[in-house]
Structure 1
Amino acid sequence: MLVHRDEQLAHLHWAFHACEKHGHGQVALVTGAVGSGKTQVLETFGEWAAAAGGQVLSAAGSRAEQGLHFGVLGQLLHSARMKPEGLRQVEELIREAALSVPTAEAGTDMAAEVLTEVLTADGLWAPLLRTAFDTFLALARQGPLVLAVDDLQHTDAASLHCLLYVTRRLRNARIMVLLSEATTLRQAHPLFHAELRSLPRFTRVTLPPLTAESVSRLLSARALAHGTGTGTGAGAHAPRGTGAGAREVGEEVRRILRVTGGNPLLTQALVDEQANREKDSAPAGGARAGDTFDRAVLDCLYRHEPGVREVAQALAVLDRPASQELLGQLLDVLPDTTGPAVRVLQGAGLVDSGELRHPRILDAVRSDIPAEERRRLHQRAAEVLHENGAEASVVAEHLVASAWTDGAWVVPVLRDAAAHALSSGRPDHAAACLRLGGQAETDKDRYNSLMAMLITARWQVNPLAVTGQVSQLVEAARDGGTSLSTAVATVPYLLWQGRAEEAAEAISGCGADDHGPAADALRLTRLLIALSHPEYLGTLSENPGSWIRTATAPHAASPQLQAVSVLGHALMPTGGVDTAAAAEQLLERHHLDSGSLGLLTAPLLALLCAGRADRVAVWGEQLLARPGVRHIPAWRGVVRAIHAEATLRLGDLDAAERGARLSLEDLPAPAWGVAVGGPLGTLITCTTESGRLFEAERWLAQPLPAGVFRTPVGAHYLIARGRHHLAMGRHQAARADLHRCGELVRSWGTDVAGLVPWRLELARVQLGLGNRTQAAQLLREQLQVSRGLDDRTQGRALRLLASTAAPDHRRRLLSRAVTVLQSCSDQQELARALSDTGQAFPRAGDSPQPRLFVHRANRVAQSAGRSTALPQQMDRRSTPDDTPPASTPPEPATNPRPRPGPGSGGQPGPAPGADGFEVRDQDSVLSEAERRVAVLAARGRTNRQISNELYITVSTVEQHLTRVYRKLDVKSRTDLPNRLMALAEPMA
């Protein structure tokens, strides 16, 4: 498809008409970059000239046939429409002349001069030239004759001399010589070009790159040909001229120009590739749609000289702008020879601003380089870049790609590059540098230091991959073979694996000055041990008051120590300082730093323990949205787990469960070490509160590593497990877990509500057992332990405390609970508080106030996207004033006889009102087992799925459904939803 060549074709049409009208010969040279459409222009013009009454003789030069004398001339003659006997004489002269010229002397300007001398000496040159010209003249008498020669740069010297002979004699001949030539490193056949430029009727036509308008026309033509509208991609179906459609087509045009630079060959390949992708079919030849553009790039590259291709390969290996000098050193050639090659590539649309234009082009060129040659180029690039003072990270990329370590300077460069990669959030690249450096390092101390850095890098990608290396460094530390920095570096990973004793032992013999980086590193390590395993808090020589001084220091030497100190103060607050503000300052200061996710987890946890789950949710989303977070699975999983717990405390069960699941996808459960209790505890709580109790059982069945319950994460897990036991009606198990949780945090001195509100959960157990006095005491203590008490926990505590209070005091507590819960996003808990408030009012005639509260509770519950078991007893006699409202909607864990939801196995069925299928009236018709099967079948479950969820056989499911169909008078499971809905009790 020829696009944007109307002006150039008009010049050629004018030359043809001048030749036809005035009888004067014309010579036209079409030039342009490889892939600019020269061949298409010649073919299009040839078709037009033939239709206009002319005769077109065509030939094409070839690099492979440059040594074939008179090859192009022979092509021209054989394309003529003339009798065979008319060609016999000139063919015999060509054959004799070709046999007289030494083959080794073809293809150069000197060979052309030698060629003239040889043919003149043999008396063959003049007869051949006259005969060939007479042949062309005879053809021109029938009408204008066009001699079209494509790829002039590859034409053999003998044919060029014949063409020059013809062009000098075109003054009174109706012959148009049309030539095309690609841009090359050096102008091919300079003597021939000098002769052409001296001709009086010579025209040069240059083919420029495509413009935006040209590409738009190409897209429109392609779309019309395929019947898809006016473009491809996003704008393929948008009406032409509409604002949205024009913008989409404009964006597609700009994208194409960014990739191709306006080269027609590359542009058409990209458009075809997109069309093939949209049709979901491979192009001709069985290639994938994504290969079309790559093949076009290589086609374009191989049509240039080898020197141009070598420069393109060097640019692909460097993957950055390069000067002539750098390219010359890399290729071991004179720098002046690389400049023309870069200009040729730029003209072809492959290079822009000294580098390959687009990653697609770079990948295509690089993939074409043989593996051994690519390795050699990377090695040479590393050497050249190092000699020119390039950054360590740049040099290291080529060292890793070449796996070369022979230079004495290599290991220090790799170490510096790894440190930069770690600080930039690229642990994968850091690990590659450190592995290569470890192969070349011979000094034991420096080797151990490299291995400590490698553990840090590999842990961020996969914590399971570092167990062996951590153990090796621990053994080296016991033997006195590691430095302080190496011993300190192993501690976090020992703690992650629950090896607290080994972590303490690793630094037991370490000492440092009171000030300086070494002292800060040692303080940080001891504080990490104590906060992750609070039984070691008593071994610290510092008191919590000193932590906050470190945390709030305006110019801390160690941001890591400052961050962990903030977390320490959140777990053991001393008063007088706003821990949340200190954590926010750290997050504000470092949240944009590359590779800072590990640093920022401590202030995130501090905010959570300070009761600011709302701020944790905001900061967590901001951190997870950073582009570099995809390279750090471990820290990404940790931040997601913290964010999930924050959203749970804000009442958003769906977002919390989704975040916790994603955190376990980032890191599988075995990779979490003792921290696995964090995401598991959040998931257990989410599934429990959603009524999916047996799904929660499956999460509880996940094995826990030894030492989990020596950590604050273990207390978090105990809370979740206790809530689940309560929801399943296992009160004694729930009380045991919650008592143990309380004993742990009190023995550690970390009894803050923001860590685990164990008193509230234990109060719910006491309420379930009917122990209202003990429950009230626990709830009052929970409200008095205000450190880290978030709004949701406070509101829940107030609502539960109201159920133990006298009527007047109950209404005041519920009013406070509603006020507090309105400031958080837990609509379910707010609905319960509103409903309890409505039930707390005594009957006073037809007072509408109680019903208004219940109606508002219903609206809040419906706006939360899930139905709540709200009371429907406003028309009945109210409960006595000295008892709590019997209709107070129970939380899943406060009901001593739970009703688990779908997927919860053989226990009673889904929570009331879960989706409109939980009915009341059919209980008298269906058995409990039949009702559970009917509800699941109405929700679209297959018999096999029902069998798995209820832990019964498929045969039992079929028997239950048979009885359900008979009792409810339905023919199939498709009738069940409407029948169950018809039986359901409507909400007020």
Structure 2
Amino acid sequence: MVPPTVGTLTDEGASGMHRQISPHREKWSAPHRSAVGQAMAVLGSASTVGLVAELLATDEAAVRAAVRGIAAGARSSTVVDELDPGARILRDTPAQVRQNLHRRAAELLHDKGFPAAAVAAHLVAANCADHPWAARVLLSAAAEDMANDQIDRAVQRLELAYRATGDPGERATIAIRLLRAEWRLNPSDRTRGYARMRSAVRAGRVPAAQLPAAVLFLLWHGQTQYADQALTQLNSGGLDETAPRIGFLCAWLRYTHPPLAQRHPWLLAAHPSRRGETTPHALGSRLLIGLFGGRPADETGTRAQCLLTRHRLAADTVETLAAAVHCLIYTDRLDTAAAWCDSLLAEAAARKAPTWQSIFAGLRAETMLRKGDARAAADDAMLALNCVPAEHLGIWIGTPIAALVRALTLAGRHTEAAAQLRRPVPRALFESRFGLAYLHAEGHHQLAVARSGEALRTFRRCGHLMRRWHMDFPWLVPWRNDLAAAHLALGEHCHARAVATRHLDLLGSASDHRTGGVSLRLLAATADRYRRIRLLRGAASIARSGGCDFELATVLGELGVAHRAVGDHDKSRALLREATRLADSCGADTLLHDLLGERPRRAAPALARLRAHAHRLDALSPAERRVAALAARGKRNRDIAAALDITTSTVEQHLTRVYRKLEISRRTELAFAMGET
């Protein structure tokens, strides 16, 4: 059969399309030929002589005759339409006629057993779903669209299914499915899907199986009143405590929204999944219970990777996969967490899911911040805030804002950090775990701009929340270390020593977590100069294994100063040189300014000058390069002279020329310039 790609159509053919054509007529008139072309265009790839005949309520012989006429007309035509002829036919067909054809085509294809997607396409085109089977077909087709990332098409079919359904429970279920589809593109609380879901919760019409999803959507926007209502309905509706989704919801709420869990005591009881259950929600609930229940970090990391490896990113696995990445971050598996963030972020981008991109970009920002890479953390946090409108990020906005504020603070960009802290955030943010990271970042910004008293209050607020929620874990947010830093800034060494020591006591051993090294560094600031070196060496060892370049640069800088205080200048210069290199590589410009001994207002131009002229090493003669290399490693002039078998005066002359060619003025800058090559 010829496809609907030929023929000239007229609107008058529509009026006669239902007329039975006598098989004894040997010739069809133009109107009937037009009706056949319309039917073929509507059926598209499903078009056959038999289906066209049934659609038009005529016989197959008449259809074949019309097709021959259409083909002959196409061969004799000298006009080539640039548009697809099938689309042109549908465009020229009156809207009412086109809708009637699609409605009848949907019924015909359904009766013939065609796939749900083919039938649903005609239902949507007809904007009609009054058949008793229409909603079921539309939902099946929408599920297939979601699996294939055809979100816009899924939304169309779900909207029609919602209108086609009269049962309140079914409508609530469809509303949540529609909201899940819309959520991938934009997690707004102003969509029809969200309003329908919230109304269904208020009316108590959401089926128990859909309540966990409803709770997650409501809490995203901090609407705890509706979430309380949904949880009450869930608990009173014959709760199956062994169901994986219920188990994950309980664990997730206990450790992400502790005040909510405290208002619903049934959430506080452990709900482990059935033994051997490997669904993402079952694995996620066991993972969270293990993390916050004190299981070994190695076991938690292995479980997190198992979950991430076994299950693909999907609308109903986003929360579980994000929880697995969080577990990797909290157990200091930072390289592994960064790799998974990269993978999930790439998949979310490929599947055109901006909300998912925002989530995993925010997690990567948190990961890079813990690795001490301020530049990468700032870039990732900005990506998370720009994938979707920031005002639609709900309480999740606490994660990227916290990472961005910390990164900007480390870079000395305090005005920009303050601007981020002025962003409006939901009040419910501070009733969730995401608010802890926000307070941590806010306190460090206050500390950096010499508002130490305010920082002290902010850190205390963070600690108060963690204790009240029974989540006072030193690896979650090291608020006692933060307090110690604030006390040091205020000159209160005894208080600083007390809270840093308490942090170590809770860890058990300083080497058990990277924050133990920070405690040692803070304690070193309150010790005498010889004990200070011992404490800083321990802190440096932990920082090297912890993978945080910023902390390592900080410790090495303080260790270099400590060695200089006891007269070990060679060791001091080597340590300061390494600290300078690390501070520059991770974008911690404030620390870099301190290491270079420059005031912040002069440091940026000086730093740019150093970086811009590092390539001028090529202008040095071989003799000058040898002298410069030894000087950059901290060697004294007389040692350089002895090593190269030249006079001290010659060394001084070479260094004078090196400084002039590289446009630098002191040996610390030389160390930086040589380290860049």
TM range (shorter): 0.7 to 0.9
Q: Which among 110, 122, 127 is matched to residue 398 of structure 1?
A: 122
Structure whose residues are more often helix by fraction: 2
Q: Which among 236, 239, 245 is matched to residue 511 of structure 1?
A: 236
Q: Which residue of 1 aligns with 2:639?
A: none
Q: Which residue of 2 aligns with 1:611?
A: 332
2:546 matched to 1:833? no
Q: Which among 644, 655, 664 is matched to residue 376 of structure 2?
A: 655
State the one-letter code of the partner of 1:727: A
2:475 matched to 1:782? no
Q: Which residue of 1 aligns with 2:447?
A: 726
Take 1:790 and 1:381, find their aligned partners in 2: how far apart are those partners?
A: 68
Take 2:500 and 2:49, find their aligned partners in 1: how far apart are those partners?
A: 77
- Residues 626, 562 of structure 1: alpha-carbon distance in 2 compared, 3 angstrom cutoff: same
Take 1:673 and 1:486, find their aligned partners in 2: how far apart are those partners?
A: 21
Q: Which among 159, 169, 172 is matched to residue 435 of structure 1?
A: 159
Q: Which residue of 2 aligns with 1:567?
A: 288
Instruction: Answer yes or no: is the 8 Å Cα contact 2:334–2:371 preserved in 1.
Output: yes
Deviations 1:199-220 (A, max 9, x none): xxxxxxxxxxxxxxxxxxxxxx
Worse-superposed segment, 853-862 or 583-592: 853-862
Q: Which residue of 1 aligns with 2:180?
A: 456
Structure 1 residue 417: Cα displacement = 2.9
2:222 matched to 1:498? yes
Instruction: Answer yes or no: is the 8 Å Cα contact 1:564–1:603 preserved in 2.
Output: no
Q: Which among 777, 790, 812 is matched to residue 534 of structure 2?
A: 812
Q: Which residue of 1 aligns with 2:417?
A: 696
Instruction: Answer yes or no: is the 8 Å Cα contact 2:372–2:586 preserved in 1.
Output: no
Q: Which residue of 1 aligns with 2:609?
A: 916
2:133 matched to 1:388? no
Take 2:516 and 2:119, find their aligned partners in 1: how far apart are those partners?
A: 57
Deviations 1:33-61 (A, max 9, x none): xxxxxxxxxxxxxxxxxxxxxxxxxxxxx
Q: Which residue of 2 aligns with 1:801?
A: 523
2:302 matched to 1:581? yes
Take 1:465 and 1:845, find their aligned partners in 2: how far apart are those partners?
A: 63
Instruction: Answer yes or no: is the 8 Å Cα contact 1:449–1:486 preserved in 2.
Output: yes
Deviations 1:85-131 (A, max 9, x none): xxxxxxxxxxxxxxxxxxxxxxxxx99xxxxxxxxxxxxxxxxxxxx
State the one-letter code of the partner of 1:669: A
Alignment of 1:487-566 (within 5 A): 487-509=211-233, 510-511=235-236, 513=238, 515=240, 520-538=244-262, 539-541=264-266, 546=270, 549-550=272-273, 553-556=275-278, 559-566=280-287
SS in 2 for 1:841: helix
State the one-letter code of the partner of 2:127: A
State the one-letter code of the partner of 1:591: R
Take 1:797 and 1:685, find their aligned partners in 2: how far apart are those partners?
A: 19
Q: Which among 454, 459, 466 is matched to residue 745 of structure 1?
A: 466
State the one-letter code of the partner of 1:605: H
Take 1:592 and 1:758, find their aligned partners in 2: how far apart are those partners?
A: 33
State the one-letter code of the partner of 1:804: T
State the one-letter code of the partner of 1:540: P
Take 1:306 and 1:447, find their aligned partners in 2: how far apart are those partners?
A: 41
- Residues 540, 416 of structure 1: alpha-carbon distance in 2 compared, 3 angstrom cutoff: farther
Where in structure 2 are there 5+ consecutive unaligned residues?
Answer: 1-7, 9-25, 28-32, 76-81, 612-659, 671-677
Deviations 1:431-487 (A, max 9, x none): 222211122222333223322322333333333245776565555545544433354
Structure 1 residue 666: Cα displacement = 2.0
2:488 matched to 1:763? no
State the one-letter code of the partner of 2:539: A
Q: Which residue of 2 aligns with 1:244?
A: none
Take 1:596 and 1:329, find their aligned partners in 2: how far apart are those partners?
A: 45
Take 1:684 and 1:790, find their aligned partners in 2: how far apart are those partners?
A: 27
State the one-letter code of the partner of 1:850: S
Instruction: Answer yes or no: is the 8 Å Cα contact 1:608–1:616 preserved in 2.
Output: yes
Take 2:308 and 2:117, find their aligned partners in 1: how far apart are those partners?
A: 27
Structure 1 residue 912: Cα displacement = 8.1
- Residues 793, 574 of structure 1: alpha-carbon distance in 2 compared, 3 angstrom cutoff: closer
Deviations 1:735-776 (A, max 9, x none): 111000011112111122443221222222122112233223
Instruction: Answer yes or no: is the 8 Å Cα contact 1:836–1:888 preserved in 2.
Output: no
Deviations 1:324-365 (A, max 9, x none): 766776788849959x99xx9xxx9xxxxxxxxxxxx99785
Aligned pairs, number: 577
Alignment of 1:113-512 (within 5 A): 313=41, 317-318=44-45, 334=60, 366=87, 369-370=90-91, 372=95, 378-379=102-103, 381-422=105-146, 425-466=149-190, 470=194, 473-474=197-198, 476-509=200-233, 510-511=235-236
How large is the Cα RMSD of the aligned pairs? 4.5
State the one-letter code of the partner of 2:542: V
SS in 1 for 2:609: coil
Worse-superposed segment, 686-695 or 413-422: 413-422
Q: Which residue of 2 aligns with 1:626?
A: 347
Instruction: Answer yes or no: is the 8 Å Cα contact 1:458–1:465 preserved in 2.
Output: no
- Residues 484, 573 of structure 1: alpha-carbon distance in 2 compared, 3 angstrom cutoff: same
SS in 2 for 1:625: helix
Deviations 1:868-887 (A, max 9, x none): 7559xxxxxxxxxxxxxxx7
Structure 1 residue 645: Cα displacement = 1.0
Deviations 1:765-808 (A, max 9, x none): 12211223322333333344449999654444443333333444
- Residues 772, 844 of structure 1: alpha-carbon distance in 2 compared, 3 angstrom cutoff: closer
Take 1:808 and 1:406, find their aligned partners in 2: how far apart are those partners?
A: 85
Alignment of 1:35-184 (within 5 A): none
Worse-superposed segment, 638-647 or 410-419: 410-419
Structure 1 residue 306: Cα displacement = 8.5
Q: Which residue of 2 aligns with 1:643?
A: 364
Instruction: Answer yes or no: is the 8 Å Cα contact 1:795–1:817 preserved in 2.
Output: yes
Q: Which residue of 2 aligns with 1:148?
A: none
Take 2:85 and 2:470, find their aligned partners in 1: how far apart are those partners?
A: 62
Q: Which residue of 2 aligns with 1:678?
A: 399
Q: Which among 835, 851, 872 is matched to residue 573 of structure 2?
A: 851
Take 2:89 and 2:303, find their aligned partners in 1: how far apart are those partners?
A: 55
Take 1:561 and 1:598, find their aligned partners in 2: how far apart are those partners?
A: 12
2:546 matched to 1:821? no
Greater radius of gyration (CA): 1
Structure 1 residue 680: Cα displacement = 1.3
2:313 matched to 1:597? no
Structure 1 residue 619: Cα displacement = 0.9
State the one-letter code of the partner of 1:751: D
Take 1:331 and 1:797, find their aligned partners in 2: how far apart are those partners?
A: 82
State the one-letter code of the partner of 1:404: C
% of aligned pairs identical? 30
State the one-letter code of the partner of 1:916: R
Alignment of 1:815-964 (within 5 A): 815-823=537-545, 826-841=548-563, 848-864=570-586, 913-916=606-609
Instruction: Answer yes or no: is the 8 Å Cα contact 1:570–1:579 preserved in 2.
Output: yes
Instruction: Answer yes or no: is the 8 Å Cα contact 1:609–1:753 preserved in 2.
Output: no
Instruction: Answer yes or no: is the 8 Å Cα contact 1:314–1:327 preserved in 2.
Output: no
Instruction: Answer yes or no: is the 8 Å Cα contact 1:500–1:529 preserved in 2.
Output: no
Deviations 1:641-683 (A, max 9, x none): 1121111111222222122112112222221222221211111
